[in-house]
């Protein structure tokens, strides 16, 4: 006979947090949202943590390189979408890793015998106006000059003008020797009013650059998430079909963490993918898995070697898996159940495996509830799709600005690998829709507003960290009537639409 659950599966909107005692220390500025993203042993620190508990979904309409950079500046991690060629995905990862660092390997290089037309073409490809001139045009060649936008005027120069004729020659450049500290390099930038400082070795070969804009960026983004080389942290999605080719390319490109992108994680395919990583890289390459919605699924992926486990099936705003296939579980119930398994596994083995709540987050307060119920971090799609930095187009729809947003299970994405059950290489039917979301502006402003609400609620609960919230939170079910009571009611609301600009 089939197994029946006695309790209904519930969503976040069916719960509220009960306030706790707040001491004088419970101030928003004292709250830490730092959280682990990879498993670790009791008494040890995780190999990778985030400064905020937010990741962006492995989706075409969400996680491109621009959003990955913007989210890393705030302290979170974006997982570059997998439904593209291996070469294209690896290139996105490289762009994120090279965008910000203390010492940046030059990605815009040219020979002195090339032309202004080559400079302009290189600037169009890379987006960078600072070009190193090396004898062989490689990032490690002997440096002979530098070209910036101040060195040429397109309107006054012929396209075939040689770079050697307008570059700033090496003997007029201010450079630093390899081995200089980042602090010393920044002092040189400021003392000489430079935008870029080339770093060379004893043979005059270029090793890297230090950029003034990176110093400014760090001061503006105190929570930015950087690796040991001062580069932005970025994740990447993988599937269970071409992982043997895709994973090495992503690792070589510099991806800090991988995530198996699948609608259902309790499968032999995921175990095989994790086994590939462990056999080839050991524990040096980090990979999360999912999605699951119960204890059994968590234990399976934990034993398989996953670094984190993603929770949620059918709760995404563009997901119609429950509607088309009749599988899934209310997101709140799924998180509560899997969190219990995570804690039991930790007590039994001494290994803590973070869990990620994926889907079902409609309002900002749902973020706090998900964390209180046991999630270590959250994965969001619709939330990030609304921002300037997402890969989609901003449109004016009937006088309202919107951005496009589609599911990986839609015909538009054609990400059949995500729903692969070992059959034909195609999408048999849709499990996602093509839609619009209201345009919301810049990621930075919205993320900071959302997290200020999370921090404020944590203070109301008398806690200053996510582990304290998970340990001390008091959560209550609410009735349908109390949900109505919680909003504006029994009043006539003023129409303020004319005041909105």
Length, in residues, of the chain:
501
Catalytic residue among 95, 246, 342, 418: 418
* Helix 364-372 × helix 331-349 angle, to 10°: 30
Whether the upstream peptide bond of residue 291 has omega within 30° of 0, thus cis, is yes
Q: Is 229:105 a contact under the CB 8 Å cutoff?
A: no
Q: For this structure, is 461 an active site residue? A: no
Q: For this structure, is 329 an active site residue? A: no
| Residue whose token pair is 């449109």 | 395
Structure tokens at 178: 């390899």
d(CA 383, CA 56): 9
Catalytic residue among 319, 356, 459, 461: 319
CA–CA–CA angle 102, 210, 219 (5° rounding): 55
| Residue whose token pair is 């983004």 | 221
Three-state DSSP class for 474? strand
d(CA 119, CA 160): 10
| Number of other CB atoms surrounding residue 359 within 10 Å | 25
CA distances from 243 to 78, 148, 220, 288 (A): 19, 41, 37, 14
Structure tokens at 124: 């169009």
Structure tokens at 44: 């040890």
Q: Which helix (H) or strand (E) holds 145?
A: strand 143-147
What is the phi-psi region of residue 137: left when phi exceeds 0, alpha when psi lies from -120 to 50, beta otherwise?
left
Three-state DSSP class for 36? strand
H helices present in 81-160, as ranges: 86-99, 116-126
Point out the residues that are catalytic. Answer: 319, 418
């Amino acid at each position: 006979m089939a197994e029946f659950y006695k309790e209904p599966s519930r969503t976040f909107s069916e719960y509220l947090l009960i306030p706790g005692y707040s001491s004088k220390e419970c101030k928003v500025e004292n709250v830490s949202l730092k959280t682990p993203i990879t498993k670790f042993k009791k008494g040890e620190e995780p190999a990778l943590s985030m400064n905020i508990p937010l990741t962006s979904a492995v989706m075409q309409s969400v996680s491109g390189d621009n959003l990955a950079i913007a989210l890393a500046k705030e302290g979170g991690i974006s997982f570059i979408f997998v439904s593209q060629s291996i070469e294209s995905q690896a290139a996105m990862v490289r762009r994120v890793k090279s965008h910000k660092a203390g010492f940046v390997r030059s990605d815009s290089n040219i020979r002195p015998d090339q032309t202004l037309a080559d400079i302009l073409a290189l600037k169009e490809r890379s987006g960078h106006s600072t070009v190193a001139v090396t004898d062989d045009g490689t990032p490690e060649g002997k440096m002979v000059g530098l070209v910036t936008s101040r060195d040429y005027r397109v309107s006054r120069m012929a396209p075939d003008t040689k770079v050697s004729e307008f570059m700033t020659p090496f003997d007029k450049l201010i450079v630093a020797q390899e081995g200089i500290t980042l602090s010393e390099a920044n002092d040189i930038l400021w003392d000489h009013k430079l935008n870029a400082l080339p770093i060379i070795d004893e043979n005059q070969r270029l090793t890297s650059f230090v950029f003034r804009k990176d110093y400014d960026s760090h001061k503006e983004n105190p929570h930015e998430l950087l690796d040991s080389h001062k580069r932005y942290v970025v994740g990447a999605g993988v599937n269970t079909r071409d992982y043997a080719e895709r994973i090495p390319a992503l690792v070589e490109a510099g991806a800090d963490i991988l995530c198996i992108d699948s609608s259902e994680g309790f499968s032999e395919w995921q175990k095989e993918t994790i086994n590939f990583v462990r056999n080839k890289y050991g524990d040096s390459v980090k990979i999360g898995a999912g999605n699951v919605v119960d204890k059994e699924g968590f234990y399976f992926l934990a034993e398989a070697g996953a670094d984190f486990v993603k929770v949620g099936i059918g709760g995404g705003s563009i997901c119609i898996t429950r509607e088309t296939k009749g599988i899934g579980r209310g997101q709140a119930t799924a998180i509560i159940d899997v969190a219990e398994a995570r804690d039991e596994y930790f007590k039994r083995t001494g290994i803590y495996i973070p869990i990620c709540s994926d889907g079902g987050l409609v309002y900002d307060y749902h973020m706090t509830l998900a964390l209180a119920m046991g999630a270590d971090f959250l994965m969001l799609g619709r939330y990030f799709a609304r921002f300037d930095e997402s890969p989609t187009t901003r449109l004016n729809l009937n006088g309202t600005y919107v951005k496009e947003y589609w599911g990986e299970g839609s015909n538009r994405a054609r990400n059949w690998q995500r729903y692969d059950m070992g059959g034909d290489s195609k999408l048999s039917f849709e499990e996602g829709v093509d839609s619009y979301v209201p345009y919301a502006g810049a990621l930075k402003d919205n993320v900071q507003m959302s997290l200020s609400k999370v921090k404020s609620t944590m203070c109301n609960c008398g806690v200053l960290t996510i582990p304290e919230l998970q340990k001390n939170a008091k959560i209550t079910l609410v009735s349908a009537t109390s949900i109505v009571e919680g909003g504006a009611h029994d009043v006539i609301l003023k129409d303020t639409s004319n005041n909105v600009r």
